[in-house]
């Protein structure tokens, strides 16, 4: 059996394979409530053989949305709208996860679907943003520096959202501490210029993330928890792989089960070269030096490449995004390409099953 199609257990949750769906924003919610689009979008990946499906960045407060069209989990109505989507994923044999997020200074921006860039004015439904310091992302409105009371409210919001997520049926939670959003903004010295207990040293800059992690584990005890890191800012003087290794150790000590290793997104002047698997070595380093489980992401777009990442010990799982959008049945195709005998081909699709593939269990 190819390693990509062996199960992986996180606490009490067993994922049927190691080919997972990355959280991908759809910018299609109404007042934070997921719509029929989200149901179809996510359930199709479960039919297509995915192991873990992580729903898109989901704001824990209204002000934490990337755009006015982002999903949220700050109300019970949002929770109730997520429940049938989660049930559809689980009925098809996949594990349902959700990424909890706050966009910080990168909030209140135009959805990419509008073709516009920058901050949304208040007259068009935008709002004032918050951040560790009053330092704007290039081309966006200047945020308000959070005071201690504001930080406390955000910690509480993450905890409340995690409770709602579990009530909706999600089996895995992910904290978004990457791509230049609020938790990442606190981690990086390029965006965090504070001089109190949340700024300065690495321990202080990691304080908010660790507080959120502890609050979420208290609110959702026993639920597997993933932390997504940008392992480097790709910018001089910024957050880097050494920092990621150290903070991953601290997070694991406080209950994080796996780390989703991406990179970049904090500053517009980042310098990086992309290509197939360009972030794999970052994941491998965190796995090796922090001695924690990780998944790799970043242009790992074919089954053989994904299998090689696992076989070489660079990661414990692989997340893909665009390849699942191109082919929502990527999991079934990858199993056929690697000769994996899986028993979760949908009965309705058996006529398309390649010769020799294993029939579903009765």
**Which positions are catalytic?**
181
In sequence order, the 6+-apart residues with CB closer than 8 A to the CB of 67 are 27, 108, 109, 110, 111, 120
Measured in residues, the chain has a length of 362
CA distances from 46 to 140, 141, 342, 344, 352 (A): 37, 39, 14, 10, 17
CA distances from 352 to 42, 223, 356 (A): 22, 36, 12
Task: State the Cα–Cα distance between residues 246 and 209, nearest whole angstrom.
Answer: 13
Q: Could you tell me how far CA 119 lies from the centroid of its own chain?
A: 23
In sequence order, the 6+-apart residues with CB closer than 8 A to the CB of 206 are 186, 187, 247, 250
Beta carbons of 68 and 103 less than 8 angstroms apart: no
Residue among 178, 285, 161, 187 at smallest CA distance from 239: 187
The H-or-E segment that residue 38 falls in is helix 36-47
CA distances from 63 to 13, 94, 125, 179, 243 (A): 32, 31, 11, 17, 28
Bridge-based pairing state of the strands 130-131 and 8-10: unpaired
Bridge-based pairing state of the strands 19-21 and 13-15: unpaired
CA distances from 56 to 25, 45, 147, 209, 213 (A): 5, 13, 28, 19, 19
Task: State the Cα–Cα distance between residues 140 and 119, nearest whole angstrom.
Answer: 5
């Amino acid at each position: 059996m190819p390693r990509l199609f062996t199960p992986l257990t996180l606490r009490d949750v067993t994922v049927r394979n190691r080919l997972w769906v990355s959280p991908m924003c759809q910018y299609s919610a109404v007042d934070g409530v997921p719509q029929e689009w989200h149901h179809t979008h996510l359930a199709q990946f479960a039919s297509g053989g995915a192991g873990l499906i992580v729903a898109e960045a989901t704001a824990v407060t209204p002000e934490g949305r990337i755009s006015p069209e982002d999903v949220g989990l700050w109300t019970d109505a949002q929770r109730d709208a997520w429940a049938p989507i989660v049930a559809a994923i689980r009925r098809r044999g996949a594990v349902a996860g959700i990424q909890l997020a706050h966009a910080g200074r990168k909030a209140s921006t135009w959805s990419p679907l509008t073709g516009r860039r920058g901050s949304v004015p208040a007259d068009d439904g935008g709002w004032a943003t918050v951040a560790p310091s009053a330092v704007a992302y290039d081309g966006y409105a200047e945020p308000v520096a959070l005071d201690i009371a504001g930080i406390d409210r955000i910690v509480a919001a993450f905890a409340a959202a995690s409770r709602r997520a579990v009530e909706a049926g999600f089996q895995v939670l992910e904290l978004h501490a990457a791509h230049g959003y609020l938790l990442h903004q606190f981690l990086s010295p390029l965006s965090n210029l504070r001089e109190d207990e949340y700024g300065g040293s690495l321990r202080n800059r990691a304080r908010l993330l660790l507080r959120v992690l502890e609050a979420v584990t208290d609110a959702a005890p026993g639920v597997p928890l993933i932390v997504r890191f940008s392992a480097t800012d790709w910018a001089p003087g910024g957050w880097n792989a050494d920092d990621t290794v150290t903070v991953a150790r601290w997070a694991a000590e406080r209950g994080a089960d796996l780390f989703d290793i991406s990179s970049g997104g904090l500053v517009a002047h980042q310098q990086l070269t992309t290509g197939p698997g360009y972030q794999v070595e970052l994941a491998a380093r965190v796995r090796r030096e922090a001695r924690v489980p990780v998944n790799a992401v970043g242009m790992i777009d074919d089954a053989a490449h994904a299998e090689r990442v696992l076989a070489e010990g660079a990661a414990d799982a692989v997340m893909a995004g665009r390849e699942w959008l191109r082919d929502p049945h990527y999991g079934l195709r990858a199993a056929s390409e690697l000769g994996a005998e899986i028993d979760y081909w949908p009965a309705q699709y058996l006529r398309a099953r390649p010769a020799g593939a294993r029939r579903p269990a009765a």
